Structure formats: C-alpha cells, structure tokens
Amino acid sequence: MTGPRDLSVQRSTTLSKTALVIGVVTVAVLVSVPLWADQSTSRTLVSLLTLIALAQMWNLLAGYAGLMSVGQQGYIGIGAYSLWLLTDVFGLHPFLAVPLTGLFAAAISLPTAALVFRLKGGYFAIGTWVMAEILRLIVANIPQTGGGSGRTITAVAQMPVDVRMRGTYWLALAAAVGAVLVVYAILRARVGLALTAIRDNEPAVESLGVHVFRAKLSAYVLAAFGCAVTGAVVYMNLLRIQPDSSFSISWTATMIFIVVIGGVGTIEGPILGAIIYFTLQETLSSYGSWYLILLGVLAVVITVWFPGGLWGTLVRRWGVHLFPVQRRLRLGKADEPE
Amino acid sequence: MTWVNVIVQGVLLGGLYALYATGLSLVFGVMRMVNLAHGDLSILAAFICLLVVGVVDVNPLLALVVVVPLVFLVGYLLQRFLLNFTLKGDDMRPLLATFGLSVIIQNGLLQGFSADSRGLDAGRIENASLALGDKVAFGWFPLLILVVSVLVIVLLNAFLTRTQLGRAFRATSDDQGAARLMGIDNKHIYALAMGIALAIVALAGVLMGIRTTFTPGIGPARLVYAFEAVIMGGLGSSWGTLVGGIMLGVAQTVGFQLSPGWGIFVGHLVFVTVLAIRPSGLFAKTVS
Amino acid sequence: MSLLELEDISTRYGDFQALFSVSLSVNAGESFGVIGANGAGKSTLLQTIAGLLESPTGTVRFDGEAVEHLPAHKRVTRGISLVPEGRRVFPSLTVHENLQVGAYGKRKGPWDLDAVYGVFPLLVKLRNKQASFLSGGEQQALAIGRALMSNPRLLLIDEVSLGLAPVVIRHLYEAMADVVSSGMTVILVEQDIAQIMEVADRVCCLLEGRKVIEGERGAISREQITEAYFGTRTG
C-alpha cells in the first residue's frame, strides 16, 4: 500500500504536444494541395480522407459507445440520395447540399435508434443492418429515384470538373478533420468519459446517474450525420447513385476493417488503419476475392490475437499517445517535467 | 393464386426460416454470442453438398449424411480453436471475428464457385405437389421442410430437457462459472453448441439449395431472416422461433403477391412492428 | 495426513491482489473454518482451491498431487467441490435438474439423489419447481445438495449464512453436521465467528489477504480471533 503522495492528473505529454504541431502543419499542407497538385493526387487523397472520416464515425460508435453497427451503409446511402434530392430536385448548390445531407440522416437515425436500441449486443448489430436494408428497399422501389438502376446526379455531373474536384477535396478534408476533432472533443468532454465508462461497465455508470441512453443516442445520431455527409462527398466524385451500391454493406465492412486493423477505441488507430487499408486497396484490390479474403483473415487474426489493433499494440508496447484523451494518474505534481 | 394459397406458401417458407433461426437462437442461448457468419456457413454447407453430389452421384438428401456431420465438425473446431478466444472481455470481439469470417466464406465461395446461381437436384420430390380442392396447392418438398424444422425443434427440446448433456447446456447458459463447478467444461459445451447449431443450418442450407437456387452472396440475408424470426418469436422460446419464422414467411409471401419489389420489405416491416410493439417478442420466456 | 496443502498462494483480480502468500493444510476428515471480515480474501481462497481463479505463485496440492494448473471442471472430477458465494443455483432449471447437473462429473460415491433428498427433505416437495422461485434458504440447501451430488472428497462452502434468517441458518448447519459426520472433509468460510466455532475442528483467520491466526478450536480464544478479525493488534 502506498502512502499519501502528490497525485496529479496528466493529460498531455511532450509527444502529444509535438503531435499537435505536426498535425496543424499537416492540415495546413493538406488544405493547399489542390493549389499545386494534379487532379489524380487530390482524387487519391479524397479517397483516403473519406476513409478516415467514415472510420472515425464507426470508431465513435464501437470504440466509445459500445454500439456494434453493421448498418452505417444506410446513412451513406441517405447521404448519396439526399445529395441528389437537394441538388437535382431542390436546386441547391452541391457544395451547400453536402453538409445538409447529414440532417436527413440525423432525422432518420432518431426513430431508427428508438427501435434498434431495444436490441442488445449482437442482435443490435443485425438490427442496424435490417434498418439499412429497409432504407435501401424503400429507395429502390420509388420510381422517382431511378429505382433499382439508380441515376446520375446531374447538377454535380454538370459542374466544371476543376471546380468540382477542388470543392470535393476541401469537403473531404473538412469531413476528415471534422470527424477527428469531433471525436476528440467528445472524448475530452464529460460525455466522452461517460461513453468510455459505458464500454467498460454499464451498470456502474448507470448508478452514477449518467444518462447512458442519451450518450449512446448522441453518438448514434452524430455517426449517422457524419456517415451521410461523408457519403455525399464520396458521391460528388462517383456521380452515379444506385441503391445496391450506395446502400452496400461493403461500406460498413470497410469501416470495420479499418478500425479493427488500426485499433478500436483510439483516435490514432482509425487514421493509421485508413492509411494501411488504402495502401492495401491500391496495391491488392485487383486480386478481387483474394484481396477481400485477406482482409477477412486480417480482421479475424487481429480480433482474436491482437484485440487492440495495430495502434493498441503500439501503445501497450511503448505507451505512445498522440491525442491526449486518456487521463493518466501520475505521481508527482502536474507541472513537473517528465 | 388465392390468398389462402399465398398464406399456405408463406407458412411453408417460414419452416425454412425457423430452421435457420433455431441454430442462431441455440448459440445465443448457450453463450450469448451472435455469429454473423451464420448465414454464410449454411451457404457453405449447400456448396459442400454440391461438391459431394458432384463426386459421388447421389441424391443431395442422401448427401446430408456426410454434409451435416462435416459441418458439425467445422462448427465444433471453429468455436473451440477460434471463437472461444473472443468470448473474454469486450462483447464486440465475437461479432468482429465472425464478421471477418463471413467475408472470408463469401469470397472464398466466390473464388471457388463463381457468382453463378447453383441448385441441388433432389429428383421428383422437388416438383411433386398436392392439390387441396382447386384453390390450394402446395409442394411436398416445402411441406417436408416444415416437418423437418418442427422435428428439429422437438428433438432439440428433448435433448435440452431430457439428457444430462442437454441439462449441462442449460446450466452453462444460466451461469457458466457455476457450471464449471459442476465439472462441466464450458469451452467444450460452447463448441458442441456451435457444432449443433451449424449442423442445423447446414440442413437448412441444403434443403434451401434443393428448394431454390443459391449463390455465394445470399448468406447475410439468411442471417437477417433468422434474426427476425428469433426476435419476433422471443428470445429463448423455441416454439416462438417457429412462429416468428412462419410470420416472416407469410409476410414476405404476401408482400411478393402485392408487388414483387416489396416482398422482403413487408417482412422487415412486420419485424419492425413487432419490435416496436413488443420488443421482447411474442413468446418471450424471460424478460431481462 | 493432509488432503489439501496450499503453499504461497497470492491470487489477484486484475490489478488487485486479494491474497498474499497464504499457506495452509487441511487434513482428511477435518472440518476447517476460515473466518475474516468482508474483503479479507476468503472467497478468493476458496475459488483458488476450486480452480475458478489461479494464483501466479505457489502450489495447490490435493491428495498429494499438484492441481494448481487444472481447470475448475477437472478439479471437480478429482473430488473438489465448491458451494459458491451467493449460492448460484441454475435459475432456469428445476430443483431436480440442478441436482442432476451436480452429478455431471460422474464420480462414484455415497451421494446420489436419494441421499441428498434425505439430508435436505425440504427439497423433495420442491423438486419440480424452478430454482429461481426458491427462497434464499431453499436455494442454499439446493446449492449444498448439488455440490454433494459430485461426491466430493473436499467440500468448500462459502458463507452459508449470508442473508439468511437465524432459524434457517441453524437448519442448514444441522444438515451440514450430518455431512461432516459422514467423514467428508469440509472447508467453511464465514463472517459469523460464533457459528463456525461450533462446527469447525480448526480455524484460521484472514485479514486483508494474509493469514493472521490459525489453530485448533479449543486452542484460540474468542478475543484472539476478534483481534485478528478486525486487525486491532497486528501480529
């Protein structure tokens, strides 16, 4: 037993301060990319940035709220289709429409949550899937949306290519940075502590009077919003919406692979995971099924033998934290140097 | 088709769904685990059956003698040497592992068999039908599937209540720590439960393969239907699961009759309605 | 000769160390009492013997053989049976089925359904009742009966009296006296000192995970035990 000593709660480390500087510089450089790089570079970066944004949303659900959703493709599809609705039908400018698509998804996510939150654990997961399927079937059966064969988002397709590419790039960057910052802010705030506690011990938190339901619901609605906006960004480039692909489970599979490989429950993990996933995709996706089998094997192996993912394994080895969300109890005063 | 006939077809389809659901429910009951590769494993069984029938030219129904024990073994080994490791700690781990497994199986089958539709040919029984008057007619084979699923539920119930091993399943489900104190090896029980569950869905997969066609990609939908039947019926209630499966089958068949595009949707709609009105299901055993 | 020998047991729960180098030995046919306050490590000790928990150090020898690496279910077939804290009967099974599950290990011996119903006659009329509907005392009787069904050589009983009325506790202890007199080796854990001093041949006291006193029932005084129990004097 240790006697009373000076204890202090420490959140930032020297490493995390360095990371902050590097992060700000990186974002500044990324902002300037469309001004000097060619189109294929920004197109590549759009893919990577949207992967980071999507993965952070899934991470928010799974890593912090303990919600295993396999139905996020529903909100990506909503993002794609509401982009079409807002631009082609209501005549909004696409760049303005992209952030607004999130509101559609958020509105849909509330009644959806009322239903799926009645299910626990694994059954919650399949429940979210059913909800995404319901959305797909509705969209596929409405003739105005082009039905099963889908349609092209004319307003977006008719934009001058360089304007569209630049705008899409900055939207993608905003989505990725926004996702990282929002998840980071949530974790630092009390709601973040509450969500981490949900994951660790639900009844104990309930007895402390934290509104578990509200915290989970916030995470769910926010993730719906984020997935829709990111989905809309993706379709700014794809241009053609179609129920089977816009609402495909493979969107969520991608998010799961990234977060599992990188490390669930951290902010760094999904970023790292997105980079790895993207690299694998660029180099191996021509192998088709074999590539997906490899991803499946990776997911199984990491889940079974390295549950913290790549980043979790690194943290356990060396105790690295770039984003100071953990509150660490240290001996000694707070202002003491390390 | 008259509406009576539509409903009869739906009930028969429900028998197949109940079979899928029984396996899902058993695994959840014993180890509170949901296997996201449940549907894919049944499709895997159908493809294994296709291979067996291809090698030795027998009726697929006869091939069940090989396929079912083989898939039981796959389930036992899968649980014992892989999934049991995920049962410690975070309850998301078994979901992530079985999700990965689902992707592996689907793409493995795609690689081995292509995306073409396949079917299993069981001969004359497939098309034989019985007409009741001039309005209702149903196939002998769908009826056989319903009978098989009722039989499976009866046998499973008898196993769980009448045998020492079955009691050990239920004891482990209640309290795995206390079960270990009775000399029960919970890891072995989990593996047996997965083996039995997969043997049941293997049966379902092969029967489905005879009834209709299948492709490597239709596993997830089987999982979803099984899930809907389980939740509608109520967790832990085997007869509830049968009723849930039948409700889903009838809803889908009626939906298809209204408009082919909305068939599956109507099934989902009935499920969502039950979830909204009675979240613990129609025949819930325990309210937790 | 000793049936059970523990040496240097230091079991942990995650970061929390519950026992600190505990050693003790229990003779065949003996009834041994472990007392201590809430959180002293009594249940941890029994769970380590039964195999639900493992100590990173030391040995557990049962009948001369090292069993510390055997999982709980294999220790049952060797003859170690634990009546866990909180009874933990199988709530969805009937009383009769609970007893049947108790015999899962198939050890031969004097205890069967008839013998258990003989010691706990109150269970007879409850036999087809679901265990979750039983009262606390009935559940405790069932939990002990269920453990006996495995025909143990060493019976570990964790806090029989917890949450039960005095009259119920007396009945249970009377029944246990029958079990003890049949020659069964028993380790009893209790917070209630008075109760255990009537049954146990020998007692030890745990304080914050350490064994602080041990001796024959007649050899230690009430005061010594009280001191050890509350840690009012160290030593």
Complex-level ipTM? 0.92
Residue C71 in contact with partner chain B when CB distance is under 8 A: yes
Pairing mode, if any, of strands C185-190 and C31-36? parallel
DSSP alpha helices (H): ranges in chain B? Answer: 3-31, 38-55, 60-81, 93-113, 140-162, 164-174, 176-180, 186-211, 219-233, 238-258, 263-277
Reading chain A (338 residues) residue by residue, the pLDDT tens digits are 344 445 555 556 677 788 888 888 989 889 888 888 888 888 899 999 999 999 999 999 998 888 999 999 999 999 999 999 999 999 999 999 999 999 999 999 999 999 999 998 889 999 999 999 999 999 999 988 888 889 999 999 999 998 999 999 999 999 999 999 988 887 776 555 566 666 666 666 555 545 678 888 999 999 999 999 999 999 999 999 999 999 999 999 999 999 999 998 888 899 999 999 999 998 998 888 899 999 999 999 999 998 888 888 888 777 666 666 654 444 433 333 33
* Burial class, A120, CB count within 10 angstroms (exposed 0-12 / middle 13-18 / buried 19+): middle
> Six-digit token pair at A213?
């339901």
Nearest to A300 among B100, B111, B276 (CB): B100
A298 CB neighbours in chain B (<8 A) are 100
Q: How far apart are CA B233 and CA B230, in angstroms?
A: 5
Domain ranges of chain C: 2-230
B238 CB neighbours in chain C (<8 A) are none
Chain B nearest C-alpha distance from C85 (Å): 10
Range list of β-strands (E), A198-262:
240-241
Residue B264 in contact with partner chain A when CB distance is under 8 A: yes
Find out whether C187 and C26 touch, Cβ atoms under 8 Å. Answer: yes
- Provide the 3-class DSSP secondary structure of residue A320: coil
Q: How far apart are CA A295 and CA A279, in angstroms?
A: 12
Q: Quick one: pLDDT at residue A6?
A: 54
B111 CB neighbours in chain A (<8 A) are 288-290, 293
Name the pLDDT band for C226 (thresholds 50, 70, 90).
confident
H or E stretch covering C66: strand C65-66
CATH number, domain B3-277, options 1.10.1060, 1.10.3470, 1.10.287, 1.20.120: 1.10.3470
**Region B244-268 average pLDDT:** 94
Task: Tell me whether residues B182 and C146 touch, CB distance under 8 A.
Answer: yes
Structural domain containing residue A182 = 8-249
Find out whether C157 and C188 touch, Cβ atoms under 8 Å. Answer: yes
> Six-digit token pair at C184?
């069964």
Residue B115 in contact with partner chain A when CB distance is under 8 A: no
How much helix, strand and coil, in percent to the nearest 5, is found in chain A? 75, 5, 20
A 10 A CB-CB count for B89 gives 8
Domain ranges of chain B: 3-277
C129 φ/ψ angles, rounded to the nearest 5 degrees: -90, 145
Interacting residues of C28 by C-beta distance below 8 A, sequence separation 6+: C1, C2, C3, C153, C185
Chain A nearest C-alpha distance from B127 (Å): 31
Residue C50 in contact with partner chain B when CB distance is under 8 A: yes
Nearest to B97 among A127, A249, A300 (CB): A300
C89 CB neighbours in chain B (<8 A) are 178
> Six-digit token pair at C182?
């049949």
DSSP letters spanning C143-198: HHHHHHTT--SEEEEE-TTTT--HHHHHHHHHHHHHHHHTT-EEEEEES-HHHHHH
Q: Quick one: pLDDT at residue B147?
A: 96
Find out whether C22 and C9 touch, Cβ atoms under 8 Å. Answer: yes
Residue A239 in contact with partner chain B when CB distance is under 8 A: no
Task: Tell me whether residues A293 and B96 touch, CB distance under 8 A.
Answer: no
Interacting residues of A120 by C-beta distance below 8 A, sequence separation 6+: none
Q: Quick one: pLDDT at residue A322?
A: 67
What strands, in cross-sheet order, belong to the sheet with C2-9?
C22-27, C2-9, C59-62, C65-66
Number of domains, chain A: 1
Pairing mode, if any, of strands C31-36 and C202-207? parallel
Q: How far apart are CA B7 and CA A151, in angstroms?
A: 36
In a domain, A272, yes or no: no
A145 CB neighbours in chain B (<8 A) are none
Interacting residues of A80 by C-beta distance below 8 A, sequence separation 6+: A231, A232, A234, A235, A238, A241, A246
Residue B186 in contact with partner chain C when CB distance is under 8 A: yes
| Neighbours, chain C (3 or more CB pairs < 8 A) | B
- Give the residue on B whose Cα is nearest the Cα of C83: B181
Find out whether C154 and C4 touch, Cβ atoms under 8 Å. Answer: yes
Interacting residues of A158 by C-beta distance below 8 A, sequence separation 6+: none
Q: How far apart are CA A338 and CA B275, in angstroms?
A: 54
Residue A303 in contact with partner chain B when CB distance is under 8 A: yes
Task: Tell me whether residues B164 and C100 touch, CB distance under 8 A.
Answer: yes
Q: Quick one: pLDDT at residue A167?
A: 92
Closest CA to C186 of C106, C103, C79: C79
C53 CB neighbours in chain B (<8 A) are none
- Give the residue on A whose Cα is nearest the Cα of B260: A141
The Cβ-side half-sphere exposure at C165, using a 13 Å CA radius, reads 6
Nearest to B175 among C73, C88, C102 (CB): C88
Find out whether A296 and B107 touch, Cβ atoms under 8 Å. Answer: yes
* Burial class, B150, CB count within 10 angstroms (exposed 0-12 / middle 13-18 / buried 19+): middle
> Six-digit token pair at B212?
């209709």
A 10 A CB-CB count for A264 gives 29
Interacting residues of A95 by C-beta distance below 8 A, sequence separation 6+: A167, A171
C147 CB neighbours in chain B (<8 A) are 181
User: Is domain C2-230 annotated with CATH 3.40.50.620?
Assistant: no
